Structure 1
Amino acid sequence: MAALVLIAEDDVQIAEILQAYLIREGFRTVHARDGKVALDLHRSLKPDIVLADVTMPRLDGWEVLAEIQRRGHTPVIMITALDQDVDRLQALRIGADDYIVKPFNPIEVVARAKAVLRRAGLSQAGPMIRVGDLTLDLDSYQARIEKDGVATPLSLTLTEFRLLVHLARTPSKAFTRGELVDACLPGSDALDRTVDSHLSKLRKKLEQSGGEGMLVSIRGIGYRLAVEP
C-alpha cells in the first residue's frame, strides 16, 4: 500500500499542487483545510507523514505539530511562509522533521518527504501493484502482463507508466482527462488530445501483450482500467 500523506493546508490551490505532485510519485494523499480536521484525520487514518502549514484556522500548525508529537512518532514537515530563524527553531524544538519556506518547489517538497520517510524507516510506496493480469513494479518502473504462467513485459515511456499506475490504483474508476493531467502531468501545458495520444499508445501496447480490452474509453468522461482488483 502506498504511503499516505496528510496535507494540512488552508490554501486549496497550494494543497492541490502538492497532491498532484505527490500522487504522481506514488503517494496517497488526504487534505485538511484547518488544524482541527487535520488532527481528526490523523487519528482516524494514521497517515505515514504530515505536511503542515503554520497559519491555519481553528488550530494552528504549532498546535497540530505538538499534538501529533504527543500521540506518537508520525513524521511532520512544516511548510510555511514564516521564514525567520525563530520560527524554524520553534518547529525543530517541538519536533518537526523538516521545515520548508513558501514559496516552494513542489518537486523539492516531494524529495524531502521521501528523505524524511527513509530516515523514519518507511517507504514512500509499496513496491508492487497487482490488478487482474497486470503487475506494476513501482521501484523498477517495470510493467508486465501475466497470463497462463507466462509474463510479457510492457515497454512503456515514463508518462505511460505513470498513467497506468494511476489508473491501476483505483481499478474500474473512470478518470477524466483533467484528472489524469493533474495526477500524471502536473505543471505541464498538456491538453486533452495529449492525454488521448499517450493513452492510445498505451492501449496498443497493452493489447499487443495480451491485455485486450484492459484500457477502456468512457464517452464524454475519460478512461478507466477494466480489470478486477
Structure 2
Amino acid sequence: MRILIVEDDSLLGDGLSRGLRLLGYAVDWFRNGKEADHALAAVAYDAVVLDLGLPGDDGMVWLTRWRAAGKRIPVVVLTARDAVENRIGGLDAGADDYLVKPVTLDELAARLRAVTRRSAGMPEPVWMHGELRYEPSSHQAFWRGLPVELTTREAALLELFLTHPNRVLTRDFIREKLYDWNDVLESNTLEVHIHHLRRKLHPKIVRTLRGSGYALGTVDGEQP
C-alpha cells in the first residue's frame, strides 16, 4: 500500500514516514499541497494523510479541489484543529476520516486500513481466499489454519493481490504500490518476493501471465 503524507511539520512528517514504512507501507512525504498535487497526478496512491495547516493554500483548499476534480482517493485529515465545526467541515468537504493531533502511529495505521478497505470494497476484518486466511490488521496469513511467517514486504504483496483478486497486475503497477521514490530496487526484487509467497503458501497462489504480469491464483482443494 502506498501512502501520500502532506505535512509541513518536519519532525512529525519524518516520524510518520519512518513509522509507516516499518509497518510495511510505501510512503512519500511532501510539505505543501502543491507538491502533493503533482505527486497525485503521477502516482496511484492508496490514501492521503493530509494536514490542514499547510503553507500557502491550506489542506481544506486542496481537499476541496481534489474532490471537485473527481479524485476519489481516501483522505485522512490529521490536524490540530479540534473544534466540532472543523471536523464537520472536513468531513463535509470529502475527508474519509478526521484525526486530531497528537495521534499514535497504531491508530493512524488502523484508520488507514479502514478507509482503504472500504475504498477497495473489502470492509471485512478478515479476508479469505480458498484455504488462505489473511488478517490485514496484523498482516498475518494463515494457510489451512496454521500461521505463516511472512516478511513485511511479502505481506504487503499478498495484500495487494487479495485486494485485486480478479485483475492482472503488471510489474510496474506492483512496484508503484509497494515501493516509494526512496527505495532502491534490484532488477529481480519482485520476482524474489513472489517466489517466497509461493514457497510459503502454495505454488499456485500467484499466477504468472507472461508478457502481462501476475494475478492471484486459485488454490482450493490443492496440496502445496
Letter in structure 1 aligned against 2:85: V
Listed as ranges, the gaps of 5+ residues in structure 2 are: 128-135, 143-147, 157-177, 188-198, 200-224
- For the pair 1:40 / 2:45, whether they are aligned, the reply is no
Deviation at 1:21, TM superposition (A): 2.4
- Residue in 2 aligned with 1:61? 59
Task: Measure the CA separation in 1 of the matches of 2:41 and 2:51.
Answer: 18
- Residue in 1 aligned with 2:98? 99
Letter in structure 2 aligned against 1:55: G
Deviation digits for residues 159-191 of structure 1 (CA, Å, limit 9, x no counterpart): xx349889x965559xxxxxxxxxxxxxxxxxx
Which range is displaced more, 67-76 or 102-111? 67-76
Task: Measure the CA separation in 2 of the matches of 1:77 and 1:104.
Answer: 12
Match of 2:50 among 31, 49, 52: 52
- Residue in 2 aligned with 1:120? 119
Letter in structure 1 aligned against 2:82: D
Letter in structure 1 aligned against 2:19: Y
TM-score, normalization: structure 1? Answer: 0.55
| Conservation of the 8 A alpha-carbon contact between 2:140 and 2:155 | no
Letter in structure 2 aligned against 1:117: T
Distance 1:172 1:52, change over 3 A: same
| Conservation of the 8 A alpha-carbon contact between 1:52 and 1:79 | yes
**Number of corresponding residues:** 149
- For the pair 1:80 / 2:68, whether they are aligned, the reply is no
- Residue in 2 aligned with 1:14? 12
Deviation at 1:20, TM superposition (A): 2.1
- Residue in 1 aligned with 2:204? none
Deviation at 1:4, TM superposition (A): 1.2
Task: Measure the CA separation in 2 of the matches of 1:50 and 1:95.
Answer: 12
Deviation at 1:77, TM superposition (A): 0.6
Which range is displaced more, 48-57 or 24-33? 24-33
- Residue in 1 aligned with 2:109? 110
Two-structure CA RMSD over aligned residues (Å):
3.5
| Conservation of the 8 A alpha-carbon contact between 1:38 and 1:64 | no
- Residue in 2 aligned with 1:183? none
| Conservation of the 8 A alpha-carbon contact between 2:24 and 2:153 | no
Larger Rg: 1
Deviation at 1:45, TM superposition (A): 1.4
Task: Measure the CA separation in 1 of the matches of 2:89 and 2:154.
Answer: 42
Q: After the TM superposition, which parts of structure 1 deviate over 6 Å for at least 4 consecutive aligned residues?
A: 163-166
**Sequence identity (%):** 29
Letter in structure 1 aligned against 2:54: M
| Pairing of 1:1-229 with structure 2 (within 5 A) | 3-71=1-69, 72-121=71-120, 139-141=139-141, 161-162=151-152, 171-172=185-186
| Conservation of the 8 A alpha-carbon contact between 1:4 and 1:48 | yes
TM-score, normalization: structure 2? Answer: 0.56
Task: Report SS of the residue matched to 2:28.
Answer: strand
Task: Measure the CA separation in 2 of the matches of 1:82 and 1:10.
Answer: 15
Deviation at 1:44, TM superposition (A): 1.4
